[in-house]
Amino acid sequence: MVERAIPDAWAVVTPDAAVTGRARAAASALRAALPECENLADDLLGVLDKAIEACEPAGRSMYAANKDVTPFEDPVEDLWQMCSTLREHRGDGHLAVLTSEGVGGCESHLLAIASRGEGAEVLRESRGWADQDWSDAMATLTAAGVIEAPVEVAHLDDLVLTERGARLHGHLESRTDDLASPPYAAVGEAGREALRDGLIPIASAVAEQGWIPFPNPIGLPEVV
């Protein structure tokens, strides 16, 4: 997925312009979805800043890069960037856990598909692996006793985790949550409550617009 876009993309737009443009577009969309998001952003930026400062950048390349983005001086753009930074902090931790357990990229997606029972086509279209890659990953997980006997690549939504696979998936998610917890511990219960109260209405408003498909490539659930 990355290979087919980079470095050709930088012939069209510079990295700085891409980051700035993304924040500007995101803020515009958030304001359209929920006009009062600007007031919510003003209330949340201090909490988010405290959460981000509590994170350790070592070994977390995506988090570190996002943390170094210069503030935009627009509260909604800054809200988007700060939330992106914390999202990447969790994502970096997730990759570390997968790597430590010997789970490769394609295999990790098969685990996600088997645990959710949906989303295979979305992942196949967005990630860019060949059918042989998926087949090889299925063979690896089957041999490890993590998924049932592999189905055809065209029917990945039929994958089923074995008992061992369910334990592995639960461990991966639980350990990822543990590694992602420091920023939220740092802000205390009052800070976590402020984030829930401020961000859930924004996320709900975005979901209601229908801009994000469910299921989606990053496994984002609908807001409850």
| DSSP secondary structure string for all residues of 108-177 | HHHHHHHHHT--HHHHHHHH---HHHHHHHHHHHHHTTSBSS---GGGGGG--B-HHHHHHHHHHHHHHH
The rounded distance, in Å, linking the Cα atoms of 221 and 200 is: 12
Together in a domain, 128 and 163 = yes
Tell me if the pTM is above 0.75: yes
Quick one: pLDDT at residue 157? 82
The CA R_g of the chain, rounded to the nearest whole Å, is 19
pLDDT tens digits for 34-83? 999 999 999 999 999 999 999 999 999 999 999 999 999 899 999 999 99
Q: Is residue 182 part of a domain?
A: no
Mean pLDDT of the chain: 93
Q: Are 181 and 23 in contact (CB under 8 A)?
A: no
Residue-wise pLDDT for 115-160, tens only, equals 988 778 888 888 888 989 999 999 999 999 999 877 787 788 888 9
In this structure, is residue 164 part of a structural domain? yes
Contacts (Cβ under 8 Å, ≥6 apart) of 92: 59, 60, 61, 62, 63
Give the separation between CA 75 and CA 85, rounded to whole angstroms: 15
Residues 18 and 94 in one domain: yes
The range of the structural domain enclosing residue 92 comes to: 14-100+188-208
Contact by Cβ (8 Å): 184, 52: no
Q: Say if residue 224's pLDDT is above 70.
A: no
The percent of residues in the chain predicted with pLDDT above 90, rounded, is: 77
User: Do both 28 and 92 map to the same domain?
Assistant: yes
Mind listing the pLDDT tens digit for each residue in 84-125?
Answer: 999 999 999 999 999 999 999 999 999 999 998 877 888 888
Q: Is residue 40 part of a domain?
A: yes
Q: In the prediction, which pLDDT does 128 show?
A: 84
Query: Do 25 and 84 share a domain, yes or no?
Result: yes
Looking at residue 151, its pLDDT comes to 79
Cα-Cα end-to-end distance for the chain: 31
- Residue 42 CB contacts under 8 Å (≥ 6 apart), including other chains: 75
What is the count of structural domains for the chain? 2
Indicate if 19 and 93 belong to the same structural domain.
Answer: yes
The whole-number average pLDDT for the span 194-211 is 94
Does one domain contain both 88 and 142? no
Q: What is the pLDDT of residue 143?
A: 94
Q: State whether 36 and 142 are in the same domain.
A: no
Q: Is 76 helix (H, G, I), strand (E, B) or coil?
A: helix
The confidence score (pLDDT) of residue 56 equals: 92
Same domain? For 199 and 88 the reply is yes
Please give the pLDDT value at position 183: 98
